[in-house]
């Protein structure tokens, strides 16, 4: 796979079809892969990498890159392709300046997920036939990739690419029996007290580093309301329970109907807050109340929050459904 | 920092009886920014207003808060007052301490406390008020009417009558619309052509009216008072200026097998044709789908016979650009297609026809010269069944959920006319309900039943079965007598539901005028603004807004004209300054706001900005203040807060929230 | 040298927390973190906490003063209180060094009294790193994770923990703790030997900071910053997990009844960092990114006798969402430079 | 169920659209229909002007309940505003509920200009509900406490 991608990238760079290539670059330890812009065949030969550790979603970088002279080649995993499609819909990425190459993906892992298994002091990771061979300061471990997949990959929603110019590998299908809403449903079934306690525990860890927002392909505002002193709600403090609630509710609301559920927010959170649950809650509600809707599925789709029907549910549906009552 | 004056009104005892107005004035005097705080018996009185004006001048106030009755009552009054003292009228806020305080609370302490809080909220808001000026835009004194049926004709004539220029765009070769195809009209039974054709001729002869026939609107830009419209003039291959309408070509054309749409395909016409004798304009048109010359380059008969040389096989579509101050939509209706109603055998038997087809069959200019004969064997029908509500009032998804409104009456008319002309013919009408609300309508229906002996059967028809002997068996239930009927008929007439013309939807998109789920245009208010679209400058005439009969259509058409005249009579339009505006430096160009704008007031353009010393091109939204009505839907759709609303800005509303919550 | 069985640690914690507030690194859902000790809490097995212990001297958000508003009257309220004594237990060598970095900023004139107040009341019990990880590079900055500094140094040797007071404050802390008993130097020596052995195998053990702390203009103008910063998201993760980042912002929060003037951590990665009336002197992410590393590797050591403001704890290595970090920056910038 | 505190007076913010609900509130006043003074109305042009930020802001500043009133669906002065408001508020309320914040603290009601009675009874009912819930503790900002 990696070799085919390198070949394609070099071919298109050399033919002048594209001016640069967005891909992943090797790091210090095999796992610390960085998104990178490659401008020469040499760089690609030496530094380009693609494997089960290439987690970052590159699509957001196109907001900047697609405004540069010449085309940008981007490699897209299926979920990244949804993000790109949504970005094109919102005119944030200039489609004509993008050469999108869809690549197949069987799920990604990363250092955090591996380390959660108690594997520490990693010095080398190699991958063979879906099994990771991990050398550490304290011994060698073998672990199949599927055992260390991130949640978003375990509950992969689709292996399809809504937008691409070319595919490397097989085009997949949407995953119909995806269980991504199970966790949301589980929380919905709790009592309000339990839900409050659950989210207090999660959100109180927030350090307002803004990584979730800054990595989010739906959060591409030129200036975020929370950074804009003139908005009246700019905030930096992470002192009080309210600030985190406000930030995360409003952020989830702003991306509601636009979030493609790529899961980057939860991946980057240094405090392991399952932020995707908020976005998924909105997606689940939208599906249940307004019909199934997958942001990014088609370019030009109208987000459910900029749409309506006369017979939409009234908000009191919230009072009537879900959750246990106060016992 | 603003210099704010607070003026607390007693409203006689209306407020003062339950609110300690002196305490309110005293408490508000200590709010930051307040430099004067007074109370008075009646602030809205001459003397009260004088007090405000003097205070503004003496204290160099920059903002005013009046604690009084509802702003819906006296906001306009006090805006004028502050304006008279040289303040911008939008530097005023009103705290409603009558309707929201004194009139609903009994406890003086509680009421006074609430009045103070509402006063603080108004002060907090006025701190953030900015002077607003309503923009003005000129009005192009010309109207466009889209659709040349009776609705469009009436509107155009009325507008022209008032002295304004008006253009009619009609997609067909002639104006006149559906009414030209009708035989007689209810409830007076006068002939449609007799009352319509004079109006068509009036249009043609009125020098204020210009008719673009065989034309369509292809692009609409601009906004109320200043629309820029592109009209596509479809090639008719006949020079309009030369053709005299003599009709020689239409007689000589060798292509005779073209279904005649005017008679709904019940007979044929030539490839070059004039739809009917009274067509306006009376100009021939070549049907490119059938013309041998246009298709194969061999023929040219019409060109040879034309004495004025009007035939031009090389004609192309042309585009005309015009500016208009107002646009009237009069796109009308069509009967629905009946291909989903096989139970009535419409597609299987030539003798199952629609009511409109019946109109043609009975019309003197129709295929049978006015004699009612069955289409299949040209025999006189002895028993006719009318089936009502075919596709109307349906909740099965096949038809329309609404009542088509006109069918009950025209069916009574048909039944009556048939019984009068052919007393030996039995007429049955199968109905769900008979709906006859209208002047002389019920009387008309009762005459059909009582004088003309039409058999009305309450019950729906389950099936129409074509029999080998050429008759049609109508299977129906007679609900009132509780029995099943098997009626052998010679002709079955279906009252097909009507729906908006299919050109309406794309037009609505061009006009950014909203539509309901049935593709009828929505009115600005269902009761109080029935002939205006919510989109400023777009008006609705006739059945494009909902099913209507002729009298209703004509009255709406005239009402619509009155609204258009009212607009065109103005030289400039003064906008509402409380409109949305986009902070271009914050705008992402994502189009969310545009999608929720009911008025199409938001547009996008690529603009260059100098950001950190570099020139950057960005797609940004801008709001046309002449079109925006200030609802604020866009402000919430905008994640970056680039969209804000004058007079109700995010920070103003949050300041009110803060003030209310802090006590 | 004093010692205690690991299984008896709770007794020590209870004794310490009787007298002072005690903070120990404990596990949470978001990784290990210094938490105030409560009976029953156990120490994490993780090498280090996600957030550094600097929070305890320099909290993320801290109220500086209040203004009470009533009508047009404004009253200023001093909200400062004398800090209680507290103990931070289990601080790694790298983090201990970070306090020195912070001290040089906050305790130089003009002294930051808020910081000083906490710093004076804190006792640091450090802990040697038996199992350093690949992200560790404290030795680059001459920090010895086998010989941590602090008021008391501690070592885990087998099933025992050893304590060595290094300062007066430290000796005082260990006085009269009956759960501790005398122990010999040997196990500690063995423990250190093991640590050195692993340290030598650490992938970053050869990383050198020799080339930094000088050549300011050259590094500032390096053409490598573009490439290094291109993927940076501009989030504050690296700065907020960093034990030495000390930038803060002061803001007023309008409570409706008055103003709370607070300071909170700022991040040089943020677009509004050092924003002034005229705008921001660092207009692009590249410049903000460069600021962070120039500060750690060049400006700070130039102003502080060669002391780097990085301690090699490796937090940013494991937490950066796009895996860009100071090690990559040092290697890239140092390319082709001999010394 | 917590004990109803007799002394507790909730703070209620009511956002009312200018064309229907604000007029409905005026009518309630004209007809002298009583509802508790705890309700304070903020006039907005349309229910679609209500930003979720305003609602959270109100809770932050100490509100115990927030109610949004607009024209009945189909009657919006701006044709479609309340349809957008309905979707936004439905999703927002659902999210607050998901976070364990008492769902009874937020409400959306349609009140026409003719429904003074409905306005008053809605407010009476809402104040009663919120009073029973007690003080808003789950979305408060301690800094804003007096």
Please check the confidence at residue B128 and state whether its pLDDT lies above 70. yes
Please check the confidence at residue A248 and state whether its pLDDT lies above 50. yes
Give the number of other Cβ atoms within 10 Å of residue B623's Cβ.
Answer: 23
Q: What are phi and psi of D95, to 5 degrees?
A: -65, -45
Measured N-to-C along each axis, helices C113-121 and C93-106 cross at an angle, to the nearest 10 degrees, of 140
Q: What is the largest CA-CA distance in chain B?
A: 100
Distances (CA, A) of A128 to A6, A48, A139, B83, B397: 19, 18, 18, 80, 56
Encoding tokens for residue C153? 């140094």
Residues in chain C with CB shorter than 8 Å from the CB of A223 are: 271
Which of the two residues, A121 and B178, has the higher pLDDT score?
B178
Three-class SS of residue B181?
helix
Nearest chain C residue to A36 by CA: give it: C231
Mutate to test the interface with C, among A204, A217, A237, A240 (most CBs of C within 10 A): A237
Tell me the β-bridge partners of C219. Answer: none
Mutate to test the interface with A, among C30, C44, C130, C131 (most CBs of A within 10 A): C30
What DSSP string describes A215-228?
H-TT---SS-GGG-
Residues in chain B with CB shorter than 8 Å from the CB of D79 are: 514, 522, 524, 534, 598
Tell me the β-bridge partners of D109. Answer: D69
**Mean pLDDT to the nearest integer, B256-281:** 94
Encoding tokens for residue D27? 């009518």
Interface contacts A/B by beta carbons within 8 Å: 57
Interchain CB contact of C253 with D (< 8 Å): yes
Distances (CA, A) of A125 to A4, A141, B518: 21, 10, 61
pLDDT attached to residue D91: 95
**Residue D30: inside a domain, yes or no?**
yes
Please check the confidence at residue A326 and state whether its pLDDT lies above 50. no
Q: pLDDT for C7-36, tens place per residue?
A: 999 999 999 999 889 999 999 988 899 999
Peptide bond into C110 cis (omega under 30): yes
Nearest chain C residue to B28 by CA: give it: C71
| For chain A, domain boundaries | 1-108+158-178, 109-148, 180-327
Interface contacts B/C by beta carbons within 8 Å: 18
Distance from CA of A279 to the nearest CA of C (A): 19
Q: How far apart are the first and last CA of chain A?
A: 55
Quote the distance between the C-alpha of residue A125 and its chain's center: 23
Residues in chain D with CB shorter than 8 Å from the CB of A315 are: 86, 89-90, 93, 106-108
CATH number at residue D83: 3.40.50.960
pLDDT attached to residue C338: 54
Nearest chain D residue to A188 by CA: give it: D98
Interchain CB contact of A34 with C (< 8 Å): yes
**Residue D4: inside a domain, yes or no?**
no
Q: How far apart are the first and last CA of chain C?
A: 41
Peptide bond into B187 cis (omega under 30): yes
Question: Which ranges of B128-228 would DSSP assign to H, the alpha helix?
Answer: 150-161, 192-205
Residues in chain D with CB shorter than 8 Å from the CB of C68 are: none
Tell me the β-bridge partners of A134. Answer: A125, A141
What DSSP string describes C214-254?
S-HHHHHT-TTHHHHHTT----SHHHHH-SS---EEEEEEE
Encoding tokens for residue B606? 């690529």
Which domains, and CATH codes, for chain B? 4-127 (3.40.50), 142-230+322-332+501-568 (3.50.50.60), 248-305 (no CATH), 336-497 (3.50.50.60), 580-646 (3.30.70.3270)
Which of the two residues, B527 and B566, has the higher pLDDT score?
B566
Q: Percentage of chain A with pLDDT > 70?
A: 97
Task: Please report, in tens digits, the pLDDT of each residue of chain D (146 residues total).
Answer: 344 445 789 999 999 999 889 999 999 999 999 999 999 999 999 999 999 999 999 999 899 999 999 998 877 888 889 999 999 999 999 999 999 999 899 999 999 888 999 999 999 999 999 999 999 988 888 888 76
Give the number of other Cβ atoms within 10 Å of residue D5's Cβ.
Answer: 12
pLDDT attached to residue B510: 86
Nearest chain D residue to A304 by CA: give it: D87
**Full residue range of the structural domain in which residue D89 is found:** 12-140
Question: Nearest CB to A196: which of D57, D95, D138?
Answer: D138
Which of C72, B175, A76 minimizes the C-alpha distance to B167?
B175
**Mean pLDDT to the nearest integer, A178-199:** 93
Instruction: With beta carbons less than 8 A apart as the criterion, state whether B353 and B376 touch.
Output: no
Burial of B140 (0-12, 13-18, 19+ CB in 10 A): middle
**Residue D44: inside a domain, yes or no?**
yes
Cβ of B612 and C71 within 8 Å? no
pLDDT attached to residue C75: 93
Which of C54, C22, C47 minimizes the C-alpha distance to C242?
C54
Interchain CB contact of C256 with D (< 8 Å): yes
Residues in chain A with CB shorter than 8 Å from the CB of C322 are: 34-35, 56, 215
Which of the two residues, C334 and B402, has the higher pLDDT score?
B402
B289/B234 Cα distance (integer angstroms)? 13
**Residue D1: inside a domain, yes or no?**
no
Measured N-to-C along each axis, helices B46-59 and B71-84 cross at an angle, to the nearest 10 degrees, of 50
Question: Nearest CB to D90: which of A192, A309, A318?
Answer: A318
Burial of A144 (0-12, 13-18, 19+ CB in 10 A): exposed
Question: Nearest CB to B661: which of C69, C256, C280?
Answer: C256
Burial of C210 (0-12, 13-18, 19+ CB in 10 A): exposed
Radius of gyration over every alpha carbon of chain C, rounded to an integer in angstroms: 22
Q: Which of A24-28, B8-12, B88-92, B229-233 has the lowest mean pLDDT?
A: A24-28
What does the H/E/C string look like for B408-463? HHHHHHHHHHHHHHCCCCEEEEEECCCCCCCCCHHHHHHHHHHCCCCEEEECCEEE
B139/B125 Cα distance (integer angstroms)? 35
Q: Return the residue matching tokens 């279904």.
A: B259
Tell me the β-bridge partners of B532. Answer: B539
Q: pLDDT for C63-118, tens place per residue?
A: 999 999 887 888 999 998 888 999 999 999 999 999 999 999 999 999 999 999 99
Q: Percentage of chain B with pLDDT > 70?
A: 100
Nearest chain A residue to B634 by CA: give it: A306
Kind of pairing between the strands at B491-496 and B352-354: parallel
Encoding tokens for residue A200? 């207090």
What DSSP string describes C61-103?
EEEEEEEEEETTEEEEEE---PPPPEEEEEEEHHHHHHHHHHH
Q: pLDDT for B410-457, tens place per residue?
A: 999 999 999 999 999 999 999 999 999 999 999 999 999 999 999 999
Cβ of C31 and A37 within 8 Å? no
Contacts of C298 (CB under 8 A, 6+ apart): C212, C213, C214, C215, C216, C219, C220
Predicted confidence band at A117 (pLDDT cuts at 50, 70, 90)? confident
Q: What is the largest CA-CA distance in chain C?
A: 71
Please check the confidence at residue B514 and state whether its pLDDT lies above 80. no
Residues in chain C with CB shorter than 8 Å from the CB of B659 are: 256
Q: How far apart are the first and last CA of chain D?
A: 27
Interchain CB contact of C61 with D (< 8 Å): no
A117/A84 Cα distance (integer angstroms)? 32
Interchain CB contact of A310 with B (< 8 Å): yes
Question: Which ranges of chain A would DSSP assign to H, the alpha helix?
Answer: 2-15, 41-47, 62-65, 78-89, 111-116, 151-154, 182-188, 192-203, 211-215, 241-255, 264-268, 276-290, 317-320
Q: pLDDT for C282-320, tens place per residue?
A: 989 999 999 999 999 999 999 999 999 999 999 999 999
Quote the distance between the C-alpha of residue B97 and its chain's center: 40
**Count of alpha carbons within 13 angstroms of residue B535, beta-carbon side:** 30
DSSP state of B587: -
Cβ of B662 and C257 within 8 Å? yes
What's the total number of domains in chain D? Answer: 1
pLDDT attached to residue A322: 52
Question: Nearest CB to C71: which of B30, B658, B659?
Answer: B30
Taking the whole predicted model, whether its pTM rises above 0.90 is answered as: no
Please check the confidence at residue A55 and state whether its pLDDT lies above 80. yes
Radius of gyration over every alpha carbon of chain A, rounded to an integer in angstroms: 21
Cβ of B589 and A223 within 8 Å? no
Quote the distance between the C-alpha of residue D84 and its chain's center: 17
Q: pLDDT for B37-89, tens place per residue?
A: 999 999 999 999 999 999 999 999 999 999 999 998 899 999 999 999 999 99
Encoding tokens for residue A235? 């905030």
B487/B464 Cα distance (integer angstroms)? 9
pLDDT attached to residue D78: 85
Cβ of C241 and A270 within 8 Å? yes
B237/B234 Cα distance (integer angstroms)? 9
Q: What are phi and psi of C164, to 5 degrees?
A: -130, 115
Interchain CB contact of A140 with C (< 8 Å): no
**Segment (H or E) for B657:** helix B650-661
**Count of alpha carbons within 13 angstroms of residue B618, beta-carbon side:** 22
Give the number of other Cβ atoms within 10 Å of residue A154's Cβ.
Answer: 12
């Amino acid at each position: 796979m990696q070799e085919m991608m390198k070949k394609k990238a070099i071919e298109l760079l050399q033919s002048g079809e594209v001016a640069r290539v967005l891909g992943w670059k090797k790091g210090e330890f095999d796992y610390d892969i960085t998104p990178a812009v490659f401008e020469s065949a040499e760089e690609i030969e030496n530094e380009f990498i693609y494997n089960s550790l290439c987690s970052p979603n590159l699509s957001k970088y196109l907001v900047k890159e697609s405004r540069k002279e010449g085309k940008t080649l981007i490699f897209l995993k299926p979920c990244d392709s949804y993000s790109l499609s949504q970005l094109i819909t919102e005119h944030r990425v200039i489609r004509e300046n993008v050469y999108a190459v869809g690549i197949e993906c069987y799920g990604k892992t990363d250092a955090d997920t591996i380390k959660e298994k108690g594997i520490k002091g990693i010095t080398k990771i190699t991958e063979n036939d879906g099994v990771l061979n991990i050398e550490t300061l304290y011994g060698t471990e073998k672990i199949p990739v599927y055992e260390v997949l991130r949640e978003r990959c375990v509950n992969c929603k689709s292996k399809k690419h809504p937008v691409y110019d070319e595919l490397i590998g097989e085009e997949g299908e949407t995953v119909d029996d995806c269980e991504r809403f199970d966790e949301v449903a589980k929380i919905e079934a709790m009592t309000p007290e339990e839900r409050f306690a659950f989210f207090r525990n999660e959100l109180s860890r927030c350090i307002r580093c803004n990584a979730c927002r800054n990595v989010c392909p739906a959060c591409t505002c030129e200036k975020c309301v929370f950074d804009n002193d003139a908005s009246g709600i700019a905030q930096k403090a992470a002192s009080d329970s309210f600030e985190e609630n406000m930030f995360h509710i409003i952020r989830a609301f702003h991306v509601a109907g636009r979030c493609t559920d790529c899961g980057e927010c939860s991946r980057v959170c240094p405090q392991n807050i399952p932020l995707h649950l908020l976005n998924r809650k909105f997606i689940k509600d939208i599906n249940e109340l307004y019909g199934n809707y997958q942001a990014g599925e088609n370019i030009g789709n109208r987000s459910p929050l900029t749409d309506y029907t006369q017979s939409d549910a009234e908000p009191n549906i919230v009072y009537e459904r879900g959750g246990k009552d106060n016992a | 920092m603003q210099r704010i004056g607070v003026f607390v009104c007693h409203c006689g005892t209306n407020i003062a009886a339950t609110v300690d107005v002196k305490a309110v004035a005293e408490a508000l005097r200590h709010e930051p920014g307040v430099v004067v705080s007074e109370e008075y018996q009646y602030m809205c009185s001459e003397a009260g207003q004088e007090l405000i004006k003097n205070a503004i001048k003496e204290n160099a106030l920059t903002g005013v808060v009046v604690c009084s009755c509802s702003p819906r009552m006296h906001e306009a009054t006090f805006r004028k007052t502050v304006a008279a003292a040289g303040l911008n009228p939008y530097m005023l806020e009103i705290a409603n301490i009558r309707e929201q305080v004194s009139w609903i609370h009994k406890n003086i302490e509680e009421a006074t406390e609430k009045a103070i809080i509402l006063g603080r909220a108004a002060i907090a808001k006025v701190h953030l008020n900015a002077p607003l000026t309503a923009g003005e835009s000129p009005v192009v004194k010309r109207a466009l009417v889209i659709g040349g049926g009776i609705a469009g004709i009436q509107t155009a004539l009325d507008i022209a009558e008032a002295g304004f220029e008006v253009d009619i765009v009609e997609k067909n070769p002639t104006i006149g619309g559906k009414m030209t195809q009708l035989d007689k009209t209810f409830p007076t039974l006068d002939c449609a052509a007799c009352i319509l054709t004079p109006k068509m001729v009036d249009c043609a002869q009125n020098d204020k009216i210009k008719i673009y026939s065989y034309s369509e609107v292809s692009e609409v830009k601009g906004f109320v008072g200043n629309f820029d419209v592109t009209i596509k003039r479809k090639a008719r291959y006949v020079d309009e200026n030369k053709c005299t309408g003599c009709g020689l070509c239409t007689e000589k054309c060798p292509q005779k097998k073209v279904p005649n749409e005017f008679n709904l395909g019940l007979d044929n016409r030539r490839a070059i044709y004039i739809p009917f004798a009274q067509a306006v304009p009376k100009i021939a048109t070549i049907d490119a789908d059938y013309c041998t010359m246009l298709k194969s380059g061999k023929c040219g008969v019409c060109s040879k016979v034309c004495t004025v040389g009007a035939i031009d096989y090389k004609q192309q579509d042309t585009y005309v650009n015009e500016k208009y101050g107002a646009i009237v939509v009069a796109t009308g209706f069509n009967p629905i297609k009946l291909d989903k109603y096989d139970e009535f055998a419409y597609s299987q038997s030539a003798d199952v026809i629609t009511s409109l087809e019946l109109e043609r069959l009975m019309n003197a200019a129709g295929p049978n010269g006015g004699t009612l004969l069955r289409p299949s064997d040209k025999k006189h029908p002895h028993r006719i069944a009318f089936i009502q509500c075919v596709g109307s009032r349906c909740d099965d998804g096949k038809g329309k959920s609404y009542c088509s409104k006109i069918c009950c009456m025209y069916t009574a008319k048909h039944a009556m006319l048939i019984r009068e002309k052919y007393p030996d013919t039995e007429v049955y009408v199968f109905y769900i309900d008979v709906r006859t609300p209208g002047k002389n309508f019920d009387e008309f229906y009762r005459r059909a039943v009582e004088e003309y002996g039409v058999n009305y059967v309450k019950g729906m028809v389950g099936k129409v079965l074509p029999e080998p002997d050429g008759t049609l068996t109508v299977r129906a239930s007679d609900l009132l007598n509780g029995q099943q009927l098997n009626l052998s008929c010679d002709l079955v007439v279906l009252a097909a539901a009507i729906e908006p013309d299919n050109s309406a939807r794309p037009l609505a998109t061009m006009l950014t005028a909203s539509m309901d789920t049935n593709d009828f245009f929505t009115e600005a208010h269902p009761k109080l603004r029935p002939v205006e679209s919510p989109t400023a400058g777009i008006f609705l005439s006739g059945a494009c807004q909902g099913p209507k009969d002729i009298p209703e259509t004509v009255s709406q058409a005239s009402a619509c004209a009155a609204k258009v005249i009212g607009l065109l009579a103005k030289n400039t339009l003064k906008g509402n300054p409380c409109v949305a505006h986009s902070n271009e430096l914050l705008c992402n160009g994502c189009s969310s706001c545009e999608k929720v704008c009911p008025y199409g007031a938001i547009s996008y353009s690529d603009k260059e900005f100098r950001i950190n010393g570099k020139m950057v091109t960005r797609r940004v939204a801008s709001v046309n203040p002449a079109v925006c009505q200030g609802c604020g839907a866009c402000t919430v759709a905008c994640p970056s807060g680039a969209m804000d609303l004058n007079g109700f800005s995010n920070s103003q509303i949050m300041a009110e929230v803060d003030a209310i919550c802090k006590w | 040298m004093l010692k205690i069985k690991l299984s008896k640690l709770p007794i020590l914690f209870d004794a310490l927390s009787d007298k002072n507030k005690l903070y120990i690194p404990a596990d949470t859902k978001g990784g290990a973190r210094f938490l105030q000790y409560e009976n029953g809490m156990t120490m994490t097995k993780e090498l280090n906490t996600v957030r550094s212990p600097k929070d305890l001297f320099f909290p993320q958000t801290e109220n500086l003063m209040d203004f009470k508003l009533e009508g047009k009257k404004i009253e200023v309220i001093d909200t400062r209180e004398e800090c209680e004594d507290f103990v931070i237990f289990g601080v790694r060598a790298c983090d201990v060094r970070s306090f020195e970095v912070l001290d040089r900023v906050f305790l130089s004139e003009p002294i930051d009294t808020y910081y000083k107040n906490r710093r004076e009341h804190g006792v640091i019990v450090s802990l040697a790193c038996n199992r350093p990880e690949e992200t560790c590079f404290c030795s680059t900055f001459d920090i010895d994770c086998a010989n941590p500094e602090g008021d008391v140094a501690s070592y885990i040797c087998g099933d025992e923990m050893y304590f060595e007071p290094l300062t007066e404050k430290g000796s005082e802390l260990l006085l009269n703790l009956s759960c501790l008993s005398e122990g010999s130097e040997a196990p500690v020596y063995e423990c250190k030997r093991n640590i050195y052995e692993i340290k030598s195998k650490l992938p970053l053990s050869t990383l050198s900071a020799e080339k930094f702390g000088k050549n300011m203009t050259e590094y500032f103008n390096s053409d490598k910053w573009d490439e290094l910063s291109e993927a940076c998201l501009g989030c504050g993760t690296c700065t907020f997990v960093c034990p030495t980042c000390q930038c803060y912002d002061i803001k007023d929060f309008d409570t409706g009844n008055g103003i709370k003037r607070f300071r909170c951590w700022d991040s040089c990665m943020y677009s509004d960092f050092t924003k002034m009336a005229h705008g921001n002197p660092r207009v692009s992410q590249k410049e903000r990114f460069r600021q962070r590393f120039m500060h750690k590797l060049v400006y700070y050591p130039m102003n502080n006798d060669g002391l780097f403001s990085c301690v090699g704890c490796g937090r940013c290595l494991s937490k950066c969402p796009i895996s860009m970090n100071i090690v990559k920056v040092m290697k890239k910038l140092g390319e082709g430079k001999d010394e | 169920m917590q004990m109803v505190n007799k002394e507790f007076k909730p703070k209620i913010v009511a956002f009312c659209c200018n064309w229907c609900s604000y007029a409905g509130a005026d009518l309630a006043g004209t007809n002298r229909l009583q509802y508790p003074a705890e309700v304070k109305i903020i006039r907005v042009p349309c229910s679609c002007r209500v930003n979720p930020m305003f609602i959270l802001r109100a809770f932050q500043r100490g509100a115990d309940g927030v109610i949004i009133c607009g024209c009945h669906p189909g009657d919006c002065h701006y044709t479609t505003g309340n349809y957008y408001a309905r979707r936004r508020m439905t999703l927002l309320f659902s999210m607050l509920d998901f976070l364990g914040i008492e769902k009874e603290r937020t409400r959306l009601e349609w009140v026409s200009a003719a429904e003074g009675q409905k306005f008053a009874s809605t407010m009476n009912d809402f104040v009663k509900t919120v009073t029973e819930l007690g003080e808003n503790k789950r979305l408060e900002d301690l800094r804003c406490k007096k």
